[in-house]
């Protein structure tokens, strides 16, 4: 356990209180066969962190910026949290790898109240 106490975070009282649990976790991990250990450099599912988009894919960064602005404006107009409209993860994933079919569609719920829903005739 001495090796853990030399690490930052384990030298103070809170770290020392959890020391036995941490050591038990380290011991369990060391006992695992190599085949059960995670492989270094495994690909992470999903897009990279947004801060790197401008360098890696400027078009995706532009899509993300536009999507965030649109979601923010709609959430403000509806007076609701952005996350209730669409999750940030979904926005990032769609902006990083947009679907191949980008045919514009509009949900009847988002149509202006004066316009009839698609496929309906005005009353």
d(CA 95, CA 37) in angstroms, rounded, equals 33
Gap between the Cα atoms of 119 and 61, Å rounded: 35
Q: Residue 92 has which token pair?
A: 């990032």
Report the percent of the chain where pLDDT is more than 90.
Answer: 48
Confirm whether pTM is higher than 0.85. no
75 has a pLDDT exceeding 90: yes
Helix %, strand %, coil % for the chain, to 5? 55, 0, 45
pLDDT of residue 12 exceeding 90, the answer is no
pLDDT mean over 20-47:
86
Backbone angles phi, psi at 47, to 5 degrees: -75, 160
Q: Closest Cα partner for 92 from 53, 56, 44?
A: 53
């Amino acid at each position: 356990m001495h090796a853990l106490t030399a690490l930052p975070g384990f030298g103070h009282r809170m770290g020392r209180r959890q020391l036995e649990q941490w050591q038990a976790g380290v011991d369990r991990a060391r006992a695992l066969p190599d085949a059960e250990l995670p492989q270094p450099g495994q690909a992470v599912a999903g897009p990279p962190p947004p801060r790197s988009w401008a360098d890696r894919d400027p078009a995706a960064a532009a899509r993300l910026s536009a999507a965030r602005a649109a979601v923010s404006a709609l959430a403000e107009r509806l007076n609701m949290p952005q996350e209730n409209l669409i999750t940030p993860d979904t926005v990032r994933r769609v902006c990083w790898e947009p679907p191949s079919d980008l045919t514009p569609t509009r949900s009847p719920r988002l149509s202006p109240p004066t316009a009839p829903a698609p496929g309906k005739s005005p009353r």
